[in-house]
Amino acid sequence: MSKRLRLAIQSSGRLSDSTTELLSAIGIRISRPDRKLRMVSEHFALEVLFVRDDDIPGYVADGVADVGIVGENVVLEKNPDVRVLDRLGFARCRLSIALPKADPYSGPKDLEGKHIATSYPGLLGRYFEQQGVNVTIHEISGSVEIAPGIGLADGICDIVSSGSTLISNGLKEVETVLQSEAVLIASQELDPELAALLDTLRFRIQSVLKAGKHRYILMNVPNTAIERVTEILPGMRAPTVMPLATEGWSSVHSVIPENTFWDVIDSLKEAGAEGMLVIPIEKMVL
């Protein structure tokens, strides 16, 4: 029987929706009618394990799972023996220190002697070591943000994404310890069959990530301006040029990095381009 690649993902939480979306974009439909803890994909030799995000690095290190999708913050905190393969560009967040809104703050030295509650004692400990500041770290596993309000700690260090959890608990962010996003991790050693499946999985994920970073652009250009327009377009290859029914005009198509559109639009207009359309790309296989 051929093998299946075992992929551990978060069962529910900040990462799970985007993870499910990414998997769906590469043809792996997640369906968990009875909230099963395992699911076998029909279209890919894959078994998906639904677990707590904090457990994913350990499962991958121990070989319970072959690969995992998890926040880099969790990986760096646990420091497991795994390979971090790809940054996935979603679930961006930061690990930050926060204090009650009214507390004065001018820099890390103000935290000397304070008690800080966190689920990230490893990362926070290293941070204060680098800063040369002495604090007492209280490790708690959840609802960190209520610690100052109930007198358990002076401040907290936790994941901040939109910032609304801090605001609703009367806290303000004062230092960023780490920037994080979802990453793909894998066991140190995989047998050749599983390694080949992992390559396929990564190739598909890259196609989706690249597509998200690019746009398909099309515009009408007088033939006399095609050369100028081609020079302006930050394309991957030479653009496609097709004649329009209107004499002397062409339709020019190209793929551009999504963040360059606003930089080039004025130059394109000046060069004579009209009727520009910018369209999302679903997948990009290079």
Sign of CA dihedral 223, 229, 235, 236: positive
* Helix, strand, coil percent values for the chain (each to nearest 5): 35, 35, 35
Please choose, from the candidates 58, 37, 64, the residue with its C-alpha nearest in 3D space to the C-alpha of residue 48. Answer: 37
Q: Which of residues 148-177 bind ligand PRP (CB under 6 A)?
A: 158-165
- The answer to whether the beta carbons of residues 50 and 9 sit under 8 Å apart is yes
Least distance in angstroms from the C-beta of 254 to ligand PRP: 37
Helix (H, G, I), strand (E, B) or coil at 249: strand
53 binds Zn ion (CB under 5 A): yes
Phi-psi region of 233 (alpha: psi -120 to 50; beta: other; left: phi over 0): beta
Q: What amino acid occupies position 155?
A: G
72 binds Zn ion (CB under 5 A): no
10 Å Cβ neighbour count for 204?
19
The rounded distance, in Å, linking the Cα atoms of 78 and 57 is: 7
Torsion of CA 130, 71, 38, 41, to 10 degrees: -140
Q: Which of residues 214-243 bind ligand PRP (CB under 6 A)?
A: none
Specify the stretch interacting with Zn ion by CB under 5 A; choose among 52-60, 194-202, 205-213, 254-262.
Answer: 52-60
54 binds Zn ion (CB under 5 A): yes
Identity of the residue, 116 or 255, whose beta carbon is nearer to ligand PRP in the bound complex: 116
> Tokens for 97?
């220190």
Identity of the residue, 71 or 155, whose beta carbon is nearer to Zn ion in the bound complex: 71
Least distance in angstroms from the C-beta of 55 to Zn ion: 9
55 binds Zn ion (CB under 5 A): no
5 binds ligand PRP (CB under 6 A): no
Least distance in angstroms from the C-beta of 90 to ligand PRP: 13
Instruction: Write the binding mask 15 to 54 for ligand PRP: x where contact by CB under 6 A, - elsewhere.
Output: --------------------------------------x-
Least distance in angstroms from the C-beta of 85 to ligand PRP: 21
Residue 165 interacts, among Zn ion, ligand PRP, none and using kind-specific CB cut-offs from 5 to 8 Å, with ligand PRP
Contacts to ligand PRP by CB under 6 A: 13-14, 53, 158-165
